[in-house]
Structure formats: C-alpha cells, structure tokens
C-alpha cells in the first residue's frame, strides 16, 4: 500500500511505500530531509448490537487501557514538534530564496540608471538587510545621490535628502514644536512638525559640512530609531536607514566625524571612478533621450522580515575564529598583534567590528544563494568594515601608508583554520 507525502519545503507531492513510514525521506527536488508520518489506522469494527436467535452474542471488545492512551499521546507530541520545526525551516528557506531573488532584481533595476558600481550597490544592500547604515565617500559627480535615490525606488521606501551645510541646525532635520491654532475653538497649542528624518531612507549629503551639534542629532536616530524633541520621543518608521556621503577632496570648512559616530556606520564605502567602457555608456545614456522607469521589487515590510531571517544563518566555528583573529590583530595592544600593527595603528577596531563582519557575512552568503558563512565572505567585507575603525599612527601617515594597505597586511597575517562545527 502506498501513502501520500508532501515535501514541506517545495510542496511537491509523492507516493511512497508504506514501509517508509516513520523514516527520513530526502526530497529529490529540493534535497530537504523530512520525516514520513505514519498512515492513519482504519477505525476498529464494533460488535453488532443484537445477535440472531439461538446464537450467543460475542464478548464485548475491551476498551484500550489508560496506559496505552497515554503512550499514544506522548508519541504524538514529538511528531507535532517535528512538523512545527519543518514548517519554520520551510518559511525561513522561502524568505532566504526571496532575498536572493530580490537582490538580483534590485541590481537589475538599479542598473537601468546606474552604470557599473556593482560592488558599491552590493555593500549598500548588505547594510540595508543587516539593519545598519552606510558612509559613502567619493568625489563629486559619481552619482552617489542618484544611486541612493534609485535604490530607494527599487525597495519601495520613502526617501528624504538632507543637504548638510554649516548653518544647518538639529531642529532642521529632527523637527520642532510650532504654535498652532485650533480653528474650531480658537485655542493655541504646540504641535510637532516632523523633520526630514521621518522617512525610511535618509540621504545625509556631505555630512561633514555641518557642525558637530547637528551631526550628533543623527546619533539617536541611527542607534535607537527614534527622535526626542521637547521631552517627547517619536518612533521612526521601519525600516530606517541613514546613508551619508562626504567629499574626500575639500576639507576647508568641514567638520570631520568623530570616531564614536563613524563607528555607528556599518560600512565605509569608497565610490571610485568608472572604467573607460562604463564612462562611455554613461555619456551615451545621459546625453541622449534614454529614460527608464524603476519597478519596485520589495516592500518595507518584506525588508523587515528579511532582516530577521538573515540572522538565523549559521556561522561555522572556524569562520568565527577568523573574525576574532582578524579584528584582534588590528589592535596594537593585543598580544597576538604582529609587529607592524604596533607601528602603523594608533587605535584599532572594537567589538562592533566583529558583529558587523558576522552579520554582513550572513547577508552576503544569502545573496549568493548559500545558507552558511565562509571565510571569503569575511575577507570581502573586511575593507568596508575596518576602514573607518582603524586610526593610523603619525609615522604611517608620514610614510603615505593608507588604511587599506594596513588592512591588506593584517588579512595576510591572519591564519585560516580548517572547517569545524557550525554554531
């Protein structure tokens, strides 16, 4: 006799032999291993109510003992737990596939208007799906602002741009209380007028041009996702991201971000010049009648769900060891730090660098269709994660040694252990 079985992951139907009941079955489509449930037993036939004349009625069928009923109940509980865990795994796998597909579609949509910059777009999406923020650095004219606006359209998020200037005040971005009059009663009262921070994606353009007081107004919004004005705290819409830009060339009249505030950004992304072929395509598109519409790919609610799913991606122990070795070797006070670290680094990264490397590695793994983090994921994200968390010494700056060169040398000195068990 055959029994019906449906894979909980791909939902494909199969006909299996009854002998396979209670065993594990590997789906040939999605390779998911599931437990084949026992077939339901047919109800037992009861004795007739009356017997023919001259024939003794059959003895009554005894009721099953209480112990057997308890045993059946206890054996059903593990099956319920298995079924529940399989449904959760199937939902997580579905959302992970949704993230992989969304990444490919978002990249394609942004590519309609932005030529090249694939690595920059990937790092921006990793920061968004990791529920963090990004600091973009590049000379003017590299479409940093246009890239962020296009990305917000593809993700179907509300967008606000704030141009930071030396006269920008904190109330200009957070909002302020204003006096309003009720037309019905004629009474006056305070009403809160929301600032541009009340959006899902904020572009802080040239953030280093505003004074520290205004820069600090972003700290609560970035960390707590809330704004406090006049003693009242207002929650921001979710998801919420701050993508800040700064110009590395012009330093006159600017206010460099303090190290504590730069540490709030997950990545320090450097936007470089396009290649010759990419620049040719940019000229062709921007000097002709070319136009394209950006189709939304995911919604804000899906982004929030994806942010929760990516944290369930397992991390092998050898990858965690690699993260710890990499970050601790970049600290000049650590006992395992190489000799050049003490000469070139004045201040190393803190524990938040380890957190961002692991979470970023989880997102990058899912974007590539994997459900585990590898050492290659950590190596690819080491530069944007550590770039703004390492302060070089005066000797390093005098010799012209850049932070990226220091990170390259630390990566080279960090050992790669063999694969171990998964956390």
**CATH label of the domain that carries residue 165:** 3.40.50.300
- Rounded Cα distance between 44 and 255, Å, is 84
Looking at 303, 331, 350, the residue that finishes a domain is 303
Which region among 68-77, 133-142, 412-421 has the lowest average model confidence (pLDDT)?
Answer: 68-77
Global pTM exceeds 0.75: no
Q: What is the pLDDT of residues 404-416, one digit of tens each?
A: 898 998 888 888 8
Contact (CB, 8 A) for 76 and 40: no
Query: Residues with Cβ < 8 Å from 90, sequence gap 6 or more?
Result: 8, 9, 32
- Rounded Cα distance between 255 and 268, Å, is 17
Q: What is the pLDDT of residues 319-328, one digit of tens each?
A: 899 999 899 9
Looking at 248, 272, 303, the residue that finishes a domain is 303
Q: What is the pLDDT of residues 157-181, one digit of tens each?
A: 888 888 888 888 888 888 887 887 7
Q: What is the CATH number of the domain that holds 408?
A: 1.10.8.80
Query: Residues with Cβ < 8 Å from 148, sequence gap 6 or more?
Result: 124, 136, 159, 201, 203, 243
- Rounded Cα distance between 236 and 224, Å, is 9
Q: What is the number of structural domains in the chain?
A: 2
Report if residue 233 sits inside a domain: yes
Q: Are residues 166 and 203 in the same domain?
A: yes
Report if residue 226 sits inside a domain: yes
Mean pLDDT for all residues in the chain: 78
Q: Count Cα atoms within 13 angstroms, Cβ side, for 239.
A: 26
pLDDT surpassing 90 at residue 107: no
Q: Are residues 347 and 208 in the same domain?
A: no
Q: What is the pLDDT of residues 252-292, one digit of tens each?
A: 667 888 777 788 888 888 888 888 998 888 888 888 887 78
Q: Are residues 298 and 330 in the same domain?
A: no
Q: Are residues 268 and 321 in the same domain?
A: no
Domain span at residue 257 reads: 112-303
Q: Are residues 163 and 229 in the same domain?
A: yes
Q: What is the predicted pLDDT for the residue at 10? A: 61
Looking at 276, 303, 330, the residue that finishes a domain is 303
Q: Are residues 353 and 390 in the same domain?
A: yes
Q: Are residues 189 and 231 in the same domain?
A: yes
Q: Are residues 200 and 288 in the same domain?
A: yes
- Rounded Cα distance between 237 and 360, Å, is 23
Report if residue 92 sits inside a domain: no
Q: Are residues 334 and 421 in the same domain?
A: yes
- Rounded Cα distance between 307 and 239, Å, is 9
């Amino acid at each position: 006799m055959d029994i019906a079985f449906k894979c909980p992951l791909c939902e494909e139907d199969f006909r299996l032999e009854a002998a396979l009941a209670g065993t594990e079955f590997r789906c040939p489509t999605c390779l998911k291993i599931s437990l084949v449930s026992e077939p339901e037993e047919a109800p037992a036939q009861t004795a007739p109510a009356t017997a023919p004349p001259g024939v003794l009625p059959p003895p009554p069928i005894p009721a099953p003992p209480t112990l057997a009923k308890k045993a059946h109940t206890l054996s059903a509980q593990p099956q319920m737990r298995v079924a529940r865990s399989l449904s959760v795994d199937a939902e997580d796998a579905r959302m992970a596939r949704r993230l992989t597909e969304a990444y490919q579609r978002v990249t394609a949509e942004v590519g309609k208007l932005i030529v090249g910059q694939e690595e920059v777009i990937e790092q921006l999406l990793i920061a968004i799906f990791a529920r963090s923020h990004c600091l973009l650095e590049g000379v003017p004219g590299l479409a940093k602002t246009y890239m962020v606006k296009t990305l917000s359209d593809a993700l179907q998020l509300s967008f606000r741009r704030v141009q930071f200037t030396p006269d920008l005040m904190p109330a200009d971005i957070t909002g302020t209380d204003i006096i309003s009059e009720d037309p019905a009663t004629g009474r006056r009262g305070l009403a809160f007028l929301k600032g541009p921070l009340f959006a899902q994606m904020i572009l802080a353009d040239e953030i280093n041009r505003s004074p520290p007081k205004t820069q600090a107004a972003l700290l609560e919004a970035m960390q707590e996702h809330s704004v406090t004005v006049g003693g009242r705290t207002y929650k921001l819409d979710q998801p919420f991201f701050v993508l800040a830009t700064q110009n590395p060339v012009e330093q006159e009249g600017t206010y460099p971000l303090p190290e504590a505030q730069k540490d709030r950004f997950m990545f320090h992304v450097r936007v470089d010049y396009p290649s010759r072929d990419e620049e040719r395509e940019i000229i062709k598109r921007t000097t002709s009648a070319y136009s394209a519409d950006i189709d939304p790919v995911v919604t804000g609610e899906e982004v929030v769900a994806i942010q929760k799913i990516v944290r369930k991606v397992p991390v092998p122990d050898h990858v965690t060891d690699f993260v710890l070795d990499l970050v601790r070797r970049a600290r000049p006070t650590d006992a395992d730090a190489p000799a050049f670290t003490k000469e070139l680094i004045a201040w190393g990264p803190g524990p938040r660098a380890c957190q961002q490397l692991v979470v970023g590695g989880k997102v990058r793994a899912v974007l590539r269709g994997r459900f585990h983090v590898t050492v290659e994921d950590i190596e690819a994200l080491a530069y944007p994660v550590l770039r703004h968390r390492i302060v070089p010494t005066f000797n390093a700056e005098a010799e012209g040694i850049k932070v990226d060169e220091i990170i390259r040398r630390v990566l080279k000195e960090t050992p790669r252990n063999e694969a171990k068990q998964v956390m």
